Amino acid sequence: MKVIGTAIPDIKLIQPVRHGDTRGFLSETYNKRMLAASGITVDFVQDNHSLSAASGTVRGLHFQSPPFAQTKLVRVTRGAIYDVAVDLRAGSPTFGRHVAAILSAEDWNQLLIPVGFAHGFCTLTAEAEVLYKVDQYYSRDNDLGLLWNDPDLAIDWPVEEASAILSEKDRRLPRLRDLPTWFR
């Protein structure tokens, strides 16, 4: 398992090894001991699995507020996504900036997104399946978000606004400048 830094040091790209032969492959997609050796010590408590039927589906940008704020370990088991994490930590030198990565079943890569970041993705293929581990349970009262196409974020999404497929909830999320300070 290889852990790679990104433009925002707290976000990590993780590349598990796949051992393949004529039957297929085997891969350790999560190994607590190996991640701890790289300085990643997170106790995950829940796995989530989403399927987006159409290419151009946007989910997010989502986060949970304290005390239910979540670290996420995101991976794709079918298809590909453009994955984005936005720094919401007030006082951070990277506040309001983002990291984006293409995660795909073919590349078998993962993104570790710590507490204090909003997370979202756009599907690059139809039938994209995304699995992610979180270190806090879901809390409806703490389930919040940030507008995916806020111009202040300058995210270069791979879909035009008019053709993006979003939930009504995600269309109504606030811009960064209207968001209360949740993380210090």
Answer whether the bond into residue 26 is a cis peptide, omega within 30°: no
Dist CA 118 CA 161 (whole Å): 19
Name residue 84's amino acid: V
Indicate the DSSP class of residue 149.
Answer: T
Please report the pLDDT score of residue 179 as a whole number.
96
- Range with lowest mean pLDDT among 33-42, 86-95, 146-155, 166-175: 33-42
**Lookup: tokens for 132:** 């992610």
Task: Report pLDDT for 61.
Answer: 98
pLDDT at 178 over 90: yes
Can you tell me the mean pLDDT for 162-168?
97
What is the per-residue pLDDT for 184? 86
Return d(Cα 184, Cα 178) in angstroms, integer. Answer: 16
Q: Do the Cβ atoms of 82 and 177 come closer than 8 Å?
A: no
Does 152 have pLDDT greater than 90? yes
* Residue 71 CB contacts under 8 Å (≥ 6 apart), including other chains: 42, 44, 112, 113, 114, 115, 134, 135, 136
What is the pLDDT, as a whole number, of residue 59? 97
Which residues are catalytic, by number?
A: 62, 132
Tell me the average pLDDT across 32-55: 95
Q: Is the pLDDT of residue 102 over 90?
A: yes
* Residue 75: per-residue pLDDT: 98
Contacts of 105 (CB under 8 A, 6+ apart): 76, 77, 78, 79, 80, 129
Band (pLDDT 50/70/90 cuts) for residue 171 is very high
Mean pLDDT of the chain: 96
User: Is residue 3 pLDDT above 90, yes or no?
Assistant: yes
For 131-160, give one letter per residue: b (16+ CB within 10 A) or e: bbbbbbeeeeebebbbbbbbeebebebbbe
Which domains occur in the chain, in start order? Answer: 43-178 (2.60.120.10)
